[in-house]
Amino acid sequence: MDEEKKSVNSNNGDLAEIFRALPKRKLSEMEREVILILIEKSKIQREQSMTILNKGFLIFVAFIILAYLSRLTNFLSESYISILFIFGIIILIISMMTYQSAINKEKKILDSLLDSFLK
């Protein structure tokens, strides 16, 4: 419990130091617009990657349901059921990797934006 409080306090302390290090000048209207555009672009990319993740998960679930129903009704052979299962896992992994790479890219962009304001 104390460790959690220390990590929260250290994160808040880091944020406080970052805000203290910000320049004291006011941002121009153009700078504000650019920042808002970058944030909106970041949100759109995150939503697109989330959509890909959701579709990948739905395809995975559909393959699992199809494999389960095929096993009950002997609609497909065991080899096709195994292939469906493997494809479902591959699609799920690829969609998760796509989402993770988009989140990491977004984080790097926002970190570089913050660093540029601290200089």
Q: Look at residue 19 and tell me if it is in a domain.
A: no
The total number of structural domains in the chain stands at 1
Domain membership flag for residue 100? yes
Q: Provide the residue range defining the domain that includes 48.
A: 26-118
Residue 71 belongs to some domain of the structure: yes
11 domain-assigned: no
80 domain residue, yes or no? yes
Kindly state whether residue 13 falls inside one of the protein's structural domains. Answer: no
What are the tens digits of pLDDT across the range 1-49?
444 444 444 555 676 676 666 666 676 788 788 888 888 888 898 899 9
| HEC string for the chain | CHHHHHHHHHHHHHHHHHHHHCCCCCCCHHHHHHHHHHHHHHHHHHHHHHHHHHHHHHHHHHHHHHHHHHHHHCCCCHHHHHHHHHHHHHHHHHHHHHHHHHHHHHHHHHHHHHHHHHC
Quote the pTM value.
Answer: 0.66
